[in-house]
């Protein structure tokens, strides 16, 4: 089992009070929908969008949504920004239309980031959008607009709350601190229940800031809160970044079992091989620049291109994950031009090639240097998503020993088909073919491969036999 880093050959079976709630993948209908999304949109939008990484003319290189915590920005200044929050260009329907055109099938929206500011009118604090000049419930506008175009909504919620008196990152020491933290716990639970009640179409919760020692020490509380939230909202999807077990283990409990419905640890990074994902569902959340989630008016460093992002999406789906691209609208509610351009370009690619992404998964075939292979969970078709064409112009593909190749054609044009050259046929190792490209594509291209005589699991069996 050496291919699973961190996993032991023999599962230890320590009795846990607050470990995983279920073993293995969730196979219900809602989780099946989640698994098949392929592409999602993340939105970071809050008060930090107003300074946009600058304060009093000074540039702050860190993540813009963290500006309150940098030296140079007095807390008091930040905590008064809500008096200016009045996004005159905010148009939830336009955001939703753009996300739809990009091909996103779910959205994760920041309801409350670490600063504690709520974009919904929470009745448990005054630090909300209701007390800004904007006044209206932006979250409701977003939930409704995305729902109307058929994009599922997930709520990002930060456990870190710099605005709440009882919040602390380390466990409370004095009786007074403990009492304050109890209030914070109640406040957190109330806000979460409020969100699920006010926005019943919510499909799941995406937690953040749960690395705090104080939160980690609350295994009993967080476990019962999770149980309560799930009971009040059947089908609710929660990732592995919500709680710790009684030994302080996060994401994976002391026995190595995932806590939550999917692995939520792939942040601005991707797994290299299928072994890295341990058979779990997972999502990768990605920024366009190096590390900016909230709006930063001055991006420095490398800014990803649509081709790079499409490659990351293909990479994710080929390893059984979803790819979630972050957007950071500005303080007026506008999506910046760079992001609008990327959304449009990704959308144009998705228009032609979405079949290789939606409802697709790990294909069980050996990875090749030319790109990624996905397989439709619904039709069993294989998709070769080509990013690097070899000088020879020939793409190698190895299929299961029991299979043969059927039709091979361009996804963009099924009349453009290929006559694969058989180079190797082996019962033990699988059958190897070369597909000779007719031209050199200028953008990521998808070739559909239909296999014959192939039993459902043969791809997976082939992979197992090899290790
Ligand atoms: C957190 C936030 O602090 C950040 O502002 C943003 O909202 C992002 C989505 O989440 O940052 C993290 C969280 C987790 C990791 C790294 C940065 N991680 O697991 O590596």
Q: Is 173 strand, coil or helix?
A: coil
Give the C-alpha separation, 97 to 117, whole Å. Answer: 26
The arithmetic mean of pLDDT across residues 321-349, rounded, is 98
The arithmetic mean of pLDDT across residues 313-322, rounded, is 98
Question: What is the 388 CA–ligand 1 centroid distance (Å)?
Answer: 31
Task: Write out the DSSP string of 297-327.
Answer: SS--S----HHHHHHHHHHHHHTTEEEEEEE
Per-residue pLDDT band for 4 (boundaries 50, 70, 90) equals very low
Smallest CA separation from ligand 1 atom 10, residue: 208
Cβ atoms of residues 8 and 256 within 8 Å: yes
* pLDDT, tens only, 350-366: 999 999 999 999 999 99
In this predicted structure, the answer to whether residue 466 has a pLDDT above a threshold of 60 is: no
Give the C-alpha separation, 405 to 443, whole Å. Answer: 25
pLDDT of residue 170: 97
Question: What is the 285 CA–ligand 1 centroid distance (Å)?
Answer: 9
Structure tokens at 97: 């239309």
Task: Write out the DSSP string of 385-397.
Answer: EES---TT-EEEE
Task: Write out the DSSP string of 116-151.
Answer: --BSS--TT-S-BGGGSSS-S-HHHHHHHHHHHTT-
Segments in 426-467 forming alpha helices (H): 458-466
Question: What is the 24 CA–ligand 1 centroid distance (Å)?
Answer: 26
Sign, CA dihedral 27-32-38-43, equals negative
CA atoms within 13 A on the CB side of 337: 1
Atom of ligand 1 nearest to the CA of 326: 9
Closest-CA residue to 458 (of 364, 374, 367): 364
In this predicted structure, the answer to whether residue 67 has a pLDDT above a threshold of 70 is: yes
CA atoms within 13 A on the CB side of 229: 25
pLDDT of residue 12: 67
Residue 397 φ then ψ, to 5°: -140, 135
In this predicted structure, the answer to whether residue 343 has a pLDDT above a threshold of 60 is: yes
Cβ atoms of residues 116 and 122 within 8 Å: no
Strand partners of residue 263? 282
Give the C-alpha separation, 436 to 394, whole Å. Answer: 4
In this predicted structure, the answer to whether residue 8 has a pLDDT above a threshold of 60 is: no
Structure tokens at 311: 């490659």
Question: What is the 157 CA–ligand 1 centroid distance (Å)?
Answer: 12
In this predicted structure, the answer to whether residue 467 has a pLDDT above a threshold of 50 is: no
Cβ atoms of residues 104 and 40 within 8 Å: yes
Q: Is the CB of 42 under 6 A from ligand 1?
A: no
Please enumerate in sequence order all residues whose Cβ is within 8 A of that of 461, keeping only pairs 6 or more positions apart, or say none.
Answer: 400
Question: What is the 146 CA–ligand 1 centroid distance (Å)?
Answer: 24
In this predicted structure, the answer to whether residue 18 has a pLDDT above a threshold of 90 is: yes
Name the residue of 154, 240, 267 to mutate for ligand 1: max ligand atoms within 8 A of Cβ.
267
For 420, which DSSP code? P
Closest-CA residue to 93 (of 147, 152, 43): 147
The arithmetic mean of pLDDT across residues 208-214, rounded, is 98
E strands of 29-149, at which residues? 39-43, 54-55, 58-59, 106-112
Give the C-alpha separation, 79 to 62, whole Å. Answer: 19
pLDDT of residue 9: 47
Length of the chain: 467
Smallest CA separation from ligand 1 atom 17, residue: 267
Burial class (CB in 10 A: 0-12, 13-18, 19+), 77: middle
The arithmetic mean of pLDDT across residues 319-336, rounded, is 98
Residue 446 φ then ψ, to 5°: -120, 130
Name the residue of 216, 250, 293 to mutate for ligand 1: max ligand atoms within 8 A of Cβ.
293
The arithmetic mean of pLDDT across residues 197-202, rounded, is 98
CA dist list (Å): 445 to 189, 216, 368, 386, 415: 47, 45, 15, 5, 15
Q: Is the CB of 267 under 6 A from ligand 1?
A: yes
Give the C-alpha separation, 215 to 288, whole Å. Answer: 30
The arithmetic mean of pLDDT across residues 245-252, rounded, is 97
CA dist list (Å): 409 to 196, 236, 450: 46, 39, 9
Cβ atoms of residues 285 and 156 within 8 Å: no
Which has more confidence, 451 or 199?
199
The arithmetic mean of pLDDT across residues 213-235, rounded, is 98
- 28 C-beta neighbours (distance < 10 Å), count: 13
For 369, which DSSP code? T
> How large is the greatest C-alpha to C-alpha distance in the chain, in angstroms?
76
Lowest mean pLDDT of 2-16, 278-292, 381-395, 417-431, name the range. 2-16
Smallest CA separation from ligand 1 atom 7, residue: 293
pLDDT of residue 7: 44
Structure tokens at 207: 């937690």
In this predicted structure, the answer to whether residue 463 has a pLDDT above a threshold of 80 is: no
Smallest CA separation from ligand 1 atom 6, residue: 293
Structure tokens at 251: 């994401």
In this predicted structure, the answer to whether residue 26 has a pLDDT above a threshold of 90 is: yes
Q: Which domains does the chain have, with CATH numbers?
A: 36-217+262-359 (3.20.20.80), 363-452 (2.60.40.1180)
* pLDDT, tens only, 73-110: 999 999 999 999 999 999 999 999 999 999 999 999 99
* pLDDT, tens only, 328-337: 999 999 999 9
Structure tokens at 283: 């999502």
Name the residue of 40, 208, 260 to mutate for ligand 1: max ligand atoms within 8 A of Cβ.
208
Burial class (CB in 10 A: 0-12, 13-18, 19+), 303: middle
In this predicted structure, the answer to whether residue 6 has a pLDDT above a threshold of 80 is: no
Smallest CA separation from ligand 1 atom 14, residue: 267
pLDDT of residue 430: 81
Whole-number average pLDDT of the chain: 93
Lowest mean pLDDT of 327-341, 369-383, 417-431, name the range. 417-431
In this predicted structure, the answer to whether residue 442 has a pLDDT above a threshold of 70 is: yes
For 247, which DSSP code? T
Question: What is the 227 CA–ligand 1 centroid distance (Å)?
Answer: 25
The arithmetic mean of pLDDT across residues 24-46, rounded, is 97
The arithmetic mean of pLDDT across residues 114-122, rounded, is 98
pLDDT of residue 238: 98
pLDDT > 90 fraction of the chain, expressed in percent and rounded = 88
Helices (H) and strands (E) in the chain, counts: 10, 18
Give the C-alpha separation, 1 to 7, whole Å. Answer: 7
């Amino acid at each position: 089992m050496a291919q699973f880093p961190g996993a032991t050959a023999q599962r230890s079976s320590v009795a846990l009070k607050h470990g995983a709630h279920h073993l293995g993948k969730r196979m219900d209908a809602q989780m099946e929908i989640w698994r098949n999304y392929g592409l999602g949109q993340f939105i970071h939008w809050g008060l930090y969008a107003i300074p946009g990484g600058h304060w009093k003319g000074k540039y702050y290189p860190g993540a813009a949504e963290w500006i309150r915590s940098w030296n140079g920005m007095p807390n008091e200044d930040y905590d008064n920004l809500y008096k200016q929050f009045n996004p005159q260009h905010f148009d939830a329907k336009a955001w939703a239309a753009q996300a739809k055109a990009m091909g996103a099938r779910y959205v994760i929206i920041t309801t409350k980031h670490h600063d504690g500011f709520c974009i919904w009118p929470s009745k448990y604090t005054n630090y909300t959008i209701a007390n800004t000049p904007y006044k209206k419930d932006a979250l409701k506008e977003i939930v409704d607009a995305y729902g109307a175009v058929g994009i599922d909504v997930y709520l990002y919620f930060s456990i870190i709350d710099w605005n709440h008196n009882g919040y602390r990152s380390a466990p409370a020491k004095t009786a007074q601190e403990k009492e304050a933290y109890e209030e914070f716990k109640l406040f957190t639970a109330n806000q979460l229940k409020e969100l699920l009640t006010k926005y019943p179409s919510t499909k799941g919760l995406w937690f953040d800031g749960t690395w705090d020692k104080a939160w980690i020490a609350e295994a009993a509380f967080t476990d019962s809160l999770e149980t309560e939230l799930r009971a009040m909202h059947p089908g609710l999807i929660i990732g592995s970044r919500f709680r710790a077990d009684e030994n302080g283990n996060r994401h994976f409990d002391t026995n190595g079992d995932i806590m939550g419905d999917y692995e939520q640890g792939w942040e601005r990074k991707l797994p290299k091989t299928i072994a890295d994902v341990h058979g779990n569902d997972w999502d990768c959340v990605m920024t366009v620049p190096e590390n900016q989630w909230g709006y930063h008016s001055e991006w420095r460093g490398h800014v990803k291109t649509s081709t790079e992002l499409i490659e990351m999406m293909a990479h994710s789906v080929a390893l059984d994950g979803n790819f979630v691209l972050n957007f950071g609208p500005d303080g007026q509610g506008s999506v910046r031009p760079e992001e609008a351009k990327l959304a449009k370009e990704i959308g144009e690619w998705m228009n032609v090639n979405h079949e290789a992404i939606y409802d697709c998964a790990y294909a069980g075939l050996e990875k090749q240097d030319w790109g990624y292979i996905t397989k439709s969970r619904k039709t069993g078709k294989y998709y070769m998503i080509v990013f690097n064409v070899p000088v020879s112009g020939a793409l190698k593909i190895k299929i299961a020993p029991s299979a043969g190749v059927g039709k091979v054609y361009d996804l963009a044009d099924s009349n453009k088909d290929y006559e694969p050259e058989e180079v190797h046929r082996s019962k033990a190792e699988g059958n190897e073919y070369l597909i000779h490209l007719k031209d050199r594509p200028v953008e990521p291209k998808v070739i559909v491969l239909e296999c014959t005589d192939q039993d459902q699991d043969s791809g997976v069996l082939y992979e197992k036999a090899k290790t």
